[in-house]
A and B are shown apart, each in its own frame.
Chain A
Amino acid sequence: EIVMTQSPATLSVSPGERATLSCRASQSVSSNLAWYQQKPGQAPRLLIYGASTRATGIPARFSGSGSGTEFTLTISSLQSEDFAVYYCQQYNNWPPMTFGGGTKVEIK
């Protein structure tokens, strides 16, 4: 089973600033990596798939990069609605699909 590790666990950012979230895989997952956003009391929402392709309707301020074992989600200028928990997930070797533990982006 591939273990996904996200850092940091919590990221404190001011509105308008840039946020950089990291995700590491225990072995290569090629570009088969997705990012999800989850707000309190809501279901997760797909943001990025294929490591760097934005899902339908996702604003351009969200971007993904990386391949192999190291991945980054960048939010270029944080809006109030972006404060949430973000999860990465690998789908290169499945089952099982595996998620990272999440990064909470909070208001500084």
Chain B
Amino acid sequence: QVQLVESGGGVVQPGGSLRLSCAASGFTFSSYGMHWVRQAPGKGLEWVAFIRYDGSNKYYADSVKGRFTISRDNSKNTLYLQMNSLRAEDTAVYYCAKDPGVVAAIGAFDIWGQGTMVTVSS
């Protein structure tokens, strides 16, 4: 079945780095744009980043621009989020999510992973 499984979360000090991974299965990963969405504890949802199906275009929320980098390896069916210069306000559950548009992204999220927790604290 269609599945996304995130990993790589944990506790990191302010200013530190972390790389999240998202393993995809059950669909043709290389045909779909992918997103990262986060949710701070007890708060709502915030879109973080998007990468086109072929990796040729990437977009970021202003809150993470210049600090986070989204990437993908279509040969491994895996999505990544490299997070640098982490701040306390980056503490959240990070979800990877599939865009429903084939090749041409729509900007919605039809499949979600279970999420991975990132805690930024000294």
**A binding-site residues for B, Cβ under 8 Å:** 32, 34, 36, 42-46, 49, 55, 87, 89, 91-92, 94-102
Does A99 contact B44, Cβ atoms closer than 8 Å? yes
**Alpha-carbon distance A32/B100, docked complex (angstroms):** 13
Given contacts A87-B44, A87-B45, contact A97 B107 (CB under 8 A): yes
Residue of B nearest to A56 (CB): B110
Does B50 contact A95, Cβ atoms closer than 8 Å? yes
**Alpha-carbon distance A87/B46, docked complex (angstroms):** 11
Residue of A nearest to B35 (CB): A97
Given contacts A87-B45, A97-B47, A99-B46, contact A49 B113 (CB under 8 A): no
| B47 CB contact (under 8 Å) in A45, A49, A96, A101 | A96
Does B44 contact A98, Cβ atoms closer than 8 Å? no
B-chain residues with CB within 8 Å of residue A95 when the two chains form the complex: 47, 50, 59-61, 107
Does A43 contact B95, Cβ atoms closer than 8 Å? yes
Question: Chain A: interface secondary structure?
Answer: loop
CB within 8 Å of A: which B104-122 residues: 106-115
Does A49 contact B115, Cβ atoms closer than 8 Å? no
Does A91 contact B110, Cβ atoms closer than 8 Å? no
Least CB distance, B117 to chain A, in whole angstroms: 11
Does B113 contact A34, Cβ atoms closer than 8 Å? no
| A44 CB contact (under 8 Å) in B45, B50, B61, B106 | B45
A-chain residues with CB within 8 Å of residue B112 when the two chains form the complex: 43-45
| A99 CB contact (under 8 Å) in B35, B47, B50 | B47
A-chain residues with CB within 8 Å of residue B44 when the two chains form the complex: 87, 99-102
**Alpha-carbon distance A91/B106, docked complex (angstroms):** 7
**Alpha-carbon distance A102/B45, docked complex (angstroms):** 9
**Alpha-carbon distance A42/B44, docked complex (angstroms):** 13
B-chain residues with CB within 8 Å of residue A100 when the two chains form the complex: 44
**Alpha-carbon distance A96/B106, docked complex (angstroms):** 12
Least CB distance, A38 to chain B, in whole angstroms: 8
Least CB distance, B47 to chain A, in whole angstroms: 4
Residue of A nearest to B113 (CB): A43
| B114 CB contact (under 8 Å) in A43, A96, A97 | A43
